Amino acid sequence: MRPHQFLFLAVFSLGACSNPQLSQTAAPAAAVQAGRPAVPQAPQRQVPIIEGDRLEVTVREDSSFNGVYDVREGGHVMVNRIGRVQVAGMTLPEAEEKIRKNLQTNQLTKATVLIDRLGRAPRMDPRIEGDKLIIYLTGAVNRPGQHILTLPPGQADSMGLYEAILITGGFGDFADLKKAYISRPCGDAMRQKIPVNFKSIIDGASPDPSIGNGDVITIPTRKLL
């Protein structure tokens, strides 16, 4: 091979391989210029909503609905002037559409809803998460239904009934604090009815009884004259 031919081949080879990054990025750059995304974006808005998520809701047509809402136990948010909206398991676009339809059915002629996820529920290590109790609230309470209470490890009997009521949302309007009662499992599908006087507990005249797994706590509504 002649010397000048060898030199030409060497220069050509160096020009093709000296910048591997250029060859890797040329195709994506062309794709961007053509209007196509070079690298698929992480589908954050397609991640399902879970309990404990914190969502920022914006309604362009009426700012009174705007706010930061926590996805509560049971998978719902309490939206201003709408109330409970079930969103757990939905993607952000699906939740936007559900709230939009709710608004247009009951509140607004037209609604444009935008939702951003501000944070996610913490993932706790099950080895240190602690003991769990399931209780049920009914009657004059702010959050009736099933509640899962997490207690410090080895302290399953450390939470009192009054404390549990406060943690789960507190008493509702017109609650009869003197005539509440617990319906507690006692074996063979039977339940024991235990009267509770919250007024006496709050005043410090009676001890706060320990809550039990499976307890059903009923807070009656006091009669109005």
Task: Give the domain CATH number at 188.
Answer: 3.10.560.10
In the chain, the number of structural domains is 2
pLDDT grade for 6, boundaries at 50, 70 and 90 = very low
In 3D, which of 202, 171, 184 has the Cα closest to residue 136? 184
46 vs 6, residue with greater confidence: 46
Please tell me whether residues 115 and 135 are part of one structural domain. Answer: no
In 3D, which of 171, 180, 174 has the Cα closest to residue 225? 174
Q: What is the mean pLDDT of residues 69-97?
A: 87
- Structure token pair of residue 92: 């952000």
Is 158 within the bounds of a domain? yes
pTM summary value: 0.43
pLDDT grade for 124, boundaries at 50, 70 and 90 = very low
Q: What is the mean pLDDT of residues 165-174?
A: 90
Please tell me whether residues 87 and 148 are part of one structural domain. Answer: no
**CATH classification at residue 84:** 3.30.1950.10
Q: What is the mean pLDDT of residues 173-202?
A: 87
Range 65-74 contact pairs with CB under 8 angstroms and sequence separation of 24 or more: 65/103, 65/107, 68/118, 71/121, 72/143, 73/147, 73/148, 74/145, 74/146
* Residue range 181-194, pLDDT digits in tens: 999 887 666 788 99
Q: What is the mean pLDDT of residues 44-67?
A: 86
* Residue range 131-140, pLDDT digits in tens: 678 889 999 9
133 vs 144, residue with greater confidence: 144
* Domain-terminating residue out of 119, 151, 171: 119
* Alpha carbon distance 223, 221 (integer Å): 6
Going from the C-alpha of 170 to that of each of 6, 176, 224, the distances in angstroms are: 88, 13, 20
Supply the range of the domain harboring residue 50: 44-119
Give kind and range of the element (H or E) at residue 77. strand 76-79
Kindly give the residue spans of alpha helices, DSSP state H, lying in 41-171: 92-106, 161-167
Is 197 within the bounds of a domain? yes
Is 167 within the bounds of a domain? yes
DSSP state letter for 115: E
Model confidence at 222: pLDDT above 80 = yes
